[in-house]
Structure 1
């Protein structure tokens, strides 16, 4: 016994008609079924202009603050994912315990173990700087 695909609310003919009406929305532009208005489609680059790139300045992410690269931002963010607010303010031992509790990778635990003993850190940025990394420069 073969089951017929379709909706239990509509008949097969209405299902087919509805399917054709939304095909452009489902398939997207460039598939022949698009009903997108022409003015919404991007224009190609001119003959004397380079094509669009995803990283025109070599940075994979825009918006890195002054004084930091996008890699610095990503690495500091990675550290922040494993040090929760409950550990701050905290010293080296509290930060390491918190990172282990949050299943931080071994390389981050090793970095935290390099922190000087007896210093309390209020923010992840303070921890990051104490590890010898760059934070954003202050804008005045």
Structure 2
């Protein structure tokens, strides 16, 4: 009988590759160092209202950097 599925690497290499990826999968941290490389979720009609609200809040929240102060007001006494 013919086996269905991908047999590109073989079972031994598949297990090795699975072991190598476990640290990234279980770490809970992003897979990329640079924030701009992270993918953003696409809105979907089947998403719950809570999910849609969280996605809208994340997009409107910006990069998380502190707002810049006006340079003209730095160092001027009040």
TM-score, length basis structure 2: 0.27
Higher relative contact order (CA 8 A, sep 6+): 1
